[in-house]
Structure 1
Amino acid sequence: MLDTQVCDIERRIESVIAQEENSATKAKLLQSIPGIGPVSAAMLIAEKMPELGMTAGEAAAMTGLAPVSHDSGTMRGTRAIAGGRKALRHVLFQAALAAACHNPVLKPIARRLKERGKPHKLIIVAITRKLITIANAILKTGRPSQPQIGS
């Protein structure tokens, strides 16, 4: 019963996106990025991310992917991500997991970070930030993703 309801809701979301030409175009462009599927594209469109069109740093901050310092006086704390749109960030984390394995541009970056001994969460956050940067660039140019094989 739940599977039927999920399928029905997914069809409704696809229908709503397809009805508006601008949203349908954005969804098609976003889904051209390896790692971003229908759910991630729908979430990016639903959140009406104004960050897509901003600088990479601004987009990262709006999605809660920018490092926030925990400093006080002479004490230097560790940096952690905070704020932004939590639901969107979690969907993008899932997209980043797929991109780290299947995106020919992002896979080598994830591999290099892992070889340097970076923690798994740091790798996923880095890939997520790169994914937002790529999505931003693709929506600005209006051209679908064409990953460079062998990077």
Structure 2
Amino acid sequence: MPQLNDSKYIAMAIYNVAVPSIIVAPLVTFITSDMPGTSYILTASCIIFGTTVTNCLIFIPKIIALWQERHGEVLQDQCLFTTNNQIAPQRAFTANRSVNISSLTVLREKDKEIQKLKNQLTQKELKVEGLLELISKMRPKPE
């Protein structure tokens, strides 16, 4: 499912949480007894850094794609993140509603025009059949 294709961003988020955790965890164990304030600051900063990076990596590409889509600047590599193929398509429908309504109006007008042309064609075919019958009646019969 392309709308769930966040795997590279999730992998980067895991990497950006794991590496600082691997570095901070041993530091905190050595510093715990000597400086509890520093230990607390290191732990808290690691947690805040991890959650901030994770949220940014997951949501910022989608926000950028949404902004570019609304301004008509969708790039080829961001087609996976358009609002048209997200999990909540109702929102995409309301965003593109004016475009859909105008195209729907054009389609209805074209359908009416096609039906009108079909009716005219049927009438002309009936006229041609009538003229062919009239011609066949007017021809002299071979004896």
Q: Into which bin does the TM-score normalised by the smaller protein fall? A: under 0.3
Structure having the higher Rg = 2
By percentage of residues, which structure has more helix? Answer: 2
Higher relative contact order (CA 8 A, sep 6+): 1
Give TM-score, length-normalised by structure 1.
Answer: 0.26
